Chain A
């Protein structure tokens, strides 16, 4: 972004037309001409594009105009401050994305064009949001084609391991919403080491052994109902939740949910089995309710069915994006499992014949544009320091995640044993 500070803010479109790369130029021209049409509307109002629900109608329209402003370089607010058409096309919309600061980090312009067919296993329905990003890339690079396979992260990991065992992997890249799944595949000797220059923009803790790299983070959090609790009533240590009187009989969790199991795994790794067992038992004695997933936990908190819960941070943001007045806020614990930051990440599968394309593709995921996409559309924590998270959340360095090798989160088995022994599962 800074690179563009001196550019003429009047005509970002033409500025970008001056770039090299035919595909990119065509992409930009299309978006300039068809503002409000397929591309810009399809991308930036995508949040409501898929169905006829009126819920996001207002978001969609405000955002479509935002996209148009960016495209023609109108001097209205942030779009032009950011300068790049690329950014506005990648940026999301809605009440949480109203003011974005200038972004720093590698830009797509600086990377080689993508071309060829890449087979991607995309793990997790959450990852469905990423398909939109893939669509954007494919529109940008007409010669780039993604062959996509979606299922749950663990199913794809099991599938990949089976494929590699038999010597015929079908995927070039595994992109999973869960580092545990990536770790299991890597531990089965099914991945290739990523070069330093690919993983460089990301803090070390999100590429500990360079077998995989995080692309979009998510923080464990405690969503709470602001009508029922105030921030200072939420303990700042997860261990204290078991005897917090205020929380008795009014909390919820989703023990079958992968992210929750990762959180318990983290606790087991940090505090040991005994304390984790005590915590699980203690929470049950507190009268905690069980939900099938953490969106429903967050939703129940917003409804007042629960006073607080354990959930990934973005579910509450999503509730707020749809219901800006919902009485839900996020609290974070400090330096323990409750403050774990997990991530969606990617790895390159051993035996791929498209190594270079796979590496270039991963570089694209770690640009300011891609990170802005993940931050503003999926409400994820960006993995490069130059792009801040949305929703007034503390930045990654303001959170206090525990010191933990995230690759170890793949060792779920002992965690499940604990959860079974305590009757949580």
Chain B
């Protein structure tokens, strides 16, 4: 930690700095959790008896089981899909790797309410596929509704979290180790299992956590696919002015979140020493496996991108029932508004995530872990819950900020900060500690060595986190509807309006703009990966 000579002073300064950092991280964690704490208050409003009745009712038990099943299945599916694709694009000689990397990451930019709708239009009863098969004598196709459809659709649109975090881990992985393993006569697969997997496990876990919690908070897909989970029931309660019941269900949902966070911490408990360094870059030769690999990538891209884009194009060009517009003039300024709020949210979330992510990567104390985990609560809370919490908070305690951009952006930060915390943390973990020690040996203060050594090294990860926050903010709907300044329209509020009125055709252009702009931010994420194929 320090050189021999001025060790004492240095430790003191380091301790003070660390204390300050800890306090800062704690303040940030508390700030993003505060609005959610309101839920607990609300939940107690309804009285213990009816609360118990609601908690023990068969439908509550059912949706708890349903939600847990969904999270488990989507997380497993995303790992099974995301990890192989990450290996293929990051560490093999797959042709057109850059191209595939971009396409395979893009499904993340498709909002679930568009993706799921597209799947129902394409594969539902009376959908495009059924219409195509009908002349061939196929009477009915397996139903897309229910658990299997929800798992399929959610997995296809959220696996990129695992894909991206796994890629990042693979790219910064020290290649000399794998060469050493190969020298010791391990096969590629053996080397992967024994050397690579343990080192990229934190990356996979970070992605899987984002997937699991996103699944828990998503409303659009389960509701379109007719699968009853927490979000749908909470939404129903809010619609029915059962604010207390909605709050209680939200608290229950947060309980599930805490359980998931607990499982994740346990799984990734022994990854503390995954610092990498040294020579990077190695490539596995695919040989004859090239073709199945290409077919696999093509299939995933077709399902994740061509289906929704095709359905959007159909809305745009087909003069079908109710597909035409309903007198809502689209203005390009909506796109600009979306970009501005998303960029601001990304900036604030990234800056706020730095101390939390840095601390949890560099120290093992229970407090730092707690702060880190606290930021995840808002992410698993459905947007409508965070939205109402902030309406209540804003009106009561921050009347000057209510229905202004700062509160809206704070809402986005509450919801999406863990994406930035997660990427920051894994970037910091990857920084070779010996570099820092070298810097300190050369007489740099802790702050200076952070600025001159750590920051440049983690910059790509931090920027990638910012881009993640940016694109999820772009597509966030429920909190936007509740917190936006009056008269301030964004792409998603416009899409919501025309879709809610049944004019799907009018949703096509803004949806395509949304996907295109978010796609650009995905390019930012990918170029920040650094030493990829260049």
Contacts and interface: CB of A to CB of B under 8 A. Distances in A.
Contacts of B316: 51-53
B403 A170 contact: yes
Interface string A196-237: 000000000000000000000000000000000000000000
B243 A158 contact: yes
B511 to A, nearest CB: 11
A211 to B, nearest CB: 16
A301 to B, nearest CB: 10
Given A50-B330, A158-B388, A56 B499 contact: no
Interface string A388-416: 00000000000000000000001011011
B238 A155 contact: yes
Contacts of A124: 500
B187 to A, nearest CB: 50
Nearest to B484: A149
Given A158-B241, A305-B126, A322 B323 contact: yes
Contact of A162 (B320, B330, B384, B391): B391
B499 A55 contact: no
Interface in B113-165: 125-126
Contact of B482 (A151, A170, A322): A151
Nearest to B125: A305
Nearest to B495: A125
B509 A52 contact: yes
Nearest to A314: B502
Contacts of A155: 238, 384, 387, 481-482
Interface residues of A, number: 64
A290 B226 contact: yes
A162 B317 CA distance: 43
A148 B223 contact: no
B325 A56 contact: yes
A303 B126 contact: yes
Question: By DSSP majority rule, is chain A's interface helix, strand, loop, or mixed?
Answer: helix
A168 B395 contact: yes
Contact of B321 (A46, A151, A302): A302
Nearest to A159: B391
Contacts of A132: 327-328
Interface string B75-109: 00000000000000000000000000000000000
Given A166-B395, A305-B126, A322 B241 contact: no
Contacts of A241: none
A413 B242 contact: yes
Given A155-B482, A168-B399, A256-B236, A295 B502 contact: yes
B434 to A, nearest CB: 54
A302 to B, nearest CB: 6
A50 B329 contact: yes
Contacts of A49: 325, 327, 329
B238 A47 contact: no
B126 A292 contact: no
Interface string B299-332: 0000000000000000011111111111111100
Nearest to A135: B329
B396 interface: yes
Interface in A90-135: 119, 124-126, 128-129, 131-132
Given A53-B505, A170-B486, A315-B502, A322 B324 contact: yes
B326 A416 contact: no
A319 interface: yes
Contact of A55 (B319, B395, B484): B319
B23 interface: no
A188 to B, nearest CB: 9
Nearest to B60: A420
B47 interface: no
A48 interface: yes
B382 to A, nearest CB: 13
B123 to A, nearest CB: 14
Given A51-B316, A420-B59, A150 B327 contact: no
B321 A129 contact: no
Contact of A128 (B125, B497, B505): B497
B340 interface: no
A269 B180 CA distance: 77
B327 A126 contact: no
B486 A322 contact: no
Contact of B396 (A53, A126, A166, A415): A166
B462 interface: no
A50 B506 contact: yes
Interface string A47-65: 1111111111000000000
Nearest to A167: B395
B496 interface: yes
A151 to B, nearest CB: 4
Nearest to B496: A125
A322 B323 CA distance: 8
A102 B505 CA distance: 34
Contacts of A245: none
Interface residues of B, number: 59
Contacts of B243: 158
Contact of A261 (B224, B240, B317): B240
A31 interface: no
Q: Which of A51, A151, A377 has the most CB of B within 10 A?
A: A51
A89 to B, nearest CB: 13
Given A46-B327, A55-B320, A128-B326, A147 B486 contact: yes
B241 A157 contact: yes
A72 to B, nearest CB: 24
Contacts of B319: 53-56, 322
B486 A47 contact: no
B392 interface: yes
A389 B253 CA distance: 46
A377 B325 CA distance: 12
Contact of A412 (B240, B321, B329, B496): B240
A240 interface: no
Contact of B223 (A119, A125, A184, A292): A292
Contacts of B509: 51-52
B263 interface: no
A118 to B, nearest CB: 11
Interface string A19-62: 00000000000000000000000100011111111111000000
B172 interface: no
A279 B331 CA distance: 46
Given A51-B330, A292-B224, A322-B320, A128 B502 contact: no
A258 interface: yes
B508 interface: yes
B366 interface: no
Contacts of B392: 162
A162 B387 CA distance: 12
Nearest to B502: A295
Interface string A367-397: 0000000000100000000000000000000
Nearest to A185: B241
Given A149-B486, A155-B238, A166-B395, A55 B496 contact: no
A354 interface: no
A125 B239 contact: no
A293 B500 CA distance: 9
A247 interface: no
A420 B384 CA distance: 21
B493 interface: yes
A109 to B, nearest CB: 24
Given A51-B509, A53-B505, A323-B321, 4 more contacts: A53-B317, A300-B126, A305-B126, A318-B502
Question: 5 smallest A-B Cβ distances: which pairs?
Answer: A125-B500, A55-B319, A46-B327, A295-B502, A50-B325
